[in-house]
Amino acid sequence: MSSYRPEFSEAEQSRIDAEFSRLARNKSVYLDHAGTTLYAESQVTAAAEQLQRNVFCNPHTCRLTGDFVDQVRFKILEFFNTTAEDYHVIFTANATAALSLVAENFDFGSSGDFHFCQENHTSVLGMRERVRANGIYMLREKEISSGEPKANGKVHEVSGKTGNSLLTFSAQCNFSGYKIPLEAIEQIQIDGLAKPGKQLWGSVGERKENTHNDYYICLDAASFVGTSPLDLQKYRPDYVCLSFYKMFGYPTGVGALLVSQRGAQVFQKRRFFGGGTINYAYPHAMDYQLRETFHQRYEDGTLPFLSIVELLEGFRTLERLVPRTEEFSTMERISRHVFGLAKYLEDQLRQLHHPNGEPLVKLYNKVGYQDKSRQGGTVAFNVRTESGSFVGFGEIACVAALHGILLRTGCFCNIGACQYYLGLDEDALDAIYKRAGRICGDYFDLIDGQPTGAVRVSFGYMTTIQDVDQLLQMLRSSYLATKPLQRIQFIEEQAEQLPPLLKERVQLLRPKLLQMAIFPVKSCAAFKIESPGSWPLTDQGLKYDREWMIVDMNGMALTQKRCTELCLIRPVIKVDQLELQFGDNSLISVPLSLEDQAADSAKCVSKVCRQPVEGLDCGDGVAQWLSENLGMEGLRLLRQSGQRNSSKDQQKLSLVNQAQFLLLNRSSVRSLQFEEPLDETVDRFRANIIIDTGSAFEELTYKALSIGGIQFQVEGPCQRCDMICINQRTGERSPETLTTISRLQKGRMRFGIYITRIPPDTKELEPKEQHMTCGDVVLVE
């Protein structure tokens, strides 16, 4: 077990705590410093005093304001260990605006390409829409940081260059906190890229080696510089994009683009100019002249000068609260502090296990927490249940908020990193964003039990070890010491305290009825009802469920054990007919009305589970159709006409084997991990009611439940036979199905539960017909 060693002395920690006393007053734990860090109380007080003390006006009017703005430029350059001889400082609204400025003004020449890293903020992806490159390529992180040399020599040794290529990547991934080695900057500037990456746009089929291009680096440093030192004497990207609220918490709305002298040479003459960027512009002619100073040409309109001036106090606050030592600078100490907290949290999370030994969390990082030059103060993870299922990050956000813990969940505007760490292929992304309609910032957290995002905690210099321990205590108490139903009840009872979006997420905590399956003809395929569909109930169960069956020439019920092709007969319930289909063209219908059927049918008797069943023969036409399609002589279709009761409690039954309904939990099916679509595995179990609790085999503990207010009692688990080895879409057998269930259930063959509807307590002479609707909430007793 790793121990935590504090970076700050007791006196330093005491001064820092005093600056953020509002957290204690509000009983809040703040763990979203990658989103924005917090401002110190003395910082905003000093900024306000500065505004009260001085007269700041438009810098075009007031020299004092202009001098302050220039002072901030010099301070920024000093903070990143560089000078005005090496870098220009262009003020922007934020890092996104800085990236946009690079995209709009970088001169690609005739053959330059744009390359970006998969694990990038969406602002980098937005650059693709503005660059005027010859081709656009996506690189995986390892293709940037691997240090693999070009096969055909160094770029600077190649003559006849015709273009400039631009590579943009984040110094620190805002999803996981992973840091790309900054040594890659100089190597790519000199040697180019060994591989261009996956081509997304450009001439199809063109093989580009880009040996005739110069390479420039745009470094998205917004996440990195909040807690790590960036030395621009050691590492010299051509462009650096910053957001100062990530560093100081206040002010917002101001960032910067740092442009090296090399990078400035390939910035185009602007196609737009605004106030302050020009010496003159004629209204009567297409004639204008831009300012001589580089940064002035790109700062359109009046700068947010009050916010810029207040940056000075941000720098002073950092250096005052975390003073440099003989060995380490301010930012180096902050980096050591947040990395130590992240390492401690990661180690503690790895030790959290459910009683059965299953780990509580799944962590997302590349190199672990051994080297702070490769990993920042961020920990990304998802919580898992005892059965290994994932807990939705929306639920974690609710629980955290009710414990006063502020953290971030989702994909953090970095779908590429989400794709990488969650192992999502292109079809999975389409399922999440195109078919399911998920958007950035929502709490649509699970699809078929798989997470669409993660939980992220990130630290700042004001984060304490006690904050981390409170997070750990929340996870222990809520997910190791509390039953799921207790946790859900706790959230529901406190829901009014949550923000609006999380209130909406609370409504999704309870499992819901996902699907109903009616099996009109026993052992044949299902007729499915999905959201927002509804279906009536009868005394026997779902209306029309197992009301017909196929019998052989001896009057015995035909099942898939004898004839697997029965699953290929697909029923469709229409207004007044039951339509049966086999293959693409073979159709036949029988009346839905029992009275219509009885008017022209012979009575007969068969057996289901050794019980006699009174039925009506559905005629020669459908009998011949069945025999021809199934290849068996003497088949007949019978419809139940007489009442049948269970032997145990006299519940009314259709032609089912044991109980009115069979309920299945998709989470339990998911745990089987069959190499086939999940829906196909679900179909094998031929259940009437499909729910998803998020926890495998949870349903086996149920005693009673309600669905949409309709009460059910649990009759017990379903003991499985080899019927489930039959793929219900193809009729093919796969014996490993039973083997897998036996292994998971330690030799027992239980899967799904039988339930029976409790008749409504009503004195009405003609009680109303009850319906179940997909989407109905499932409440468990």
Q: Residue 503 phi/psi, 5° resolution?
A: -60, -40
Interior angle at CA 687, CA 681 and CA 688, nearest 5: 135
- For 77, 467, 625, the CA distances from 243, given in Å and listed in that order, are 15, 25, 73
What's the rounded Cα separation, in Å, for the pair 161 and 258?
26
Question: Are the C-beta atoms of residues 666 and 514 closer than 8 Å to each other?
Answer: yes
Tell me whether residue 6 is exposed, middle or buried, using C-beta atoms within 10 angstroms of its C-beta: 0 to 12, 13 to 18, 19 or more. Answer: middle
Query: Both tokens of residue 284?
Result: 């009567």
What's the rounded Cα separation, in Å, for the pair 173 and 222?
10
3-state secondary structure of 72: helix
- Tell me the DSSP string of 208-275: ---TTEEEEEEEE-TTTTTTS---TTT---SEEEEETHHHHS---S-EEEEEEHHHHTTBPPPS---T
Q: Give the contacts of 396 (CB within 8 A, at least 6 positions apart).
A: 383, 409, 455
Query: Both tokens of residue 502?
Result: 């999380």
Long-range CB contacts (within 8 A, 24+) of 100-105: 100/126, 100/127, 100/130, 101/257, 101/298, 102/127, 102/166, 102/168, 102/218, 102/239, 102/241, 102/257, 103/127, 103/129, 103/130, 103/131, 104/130, 105/267, 105/268, 105/270, 105/298
Query: Both tokens of residue 353?
Result: 């296990």
Catalytic positions: 413
What's the rounded Cα separation, in Å, for the pair 348 and 386?
18
- Tell me the DSSP string of 401-429: HHTTEE-EEE-TT-HHHHHHHHT--HHHH
In the block, residue with structure tokens 């040594």: 183
Question: Are the C-beta atoms of residues 192 and 211 closer than 8 Å to each other?
Answer: yes
What's the rounded Cα separation, in Å, for the pair 509 and 493?
12
Specify the DSSP class assigned to residue 674: -
Pairing state between β 113-117 and 446-447 = unpaired
Helix or strand holding residue 313 (H, E):
helix 305-321
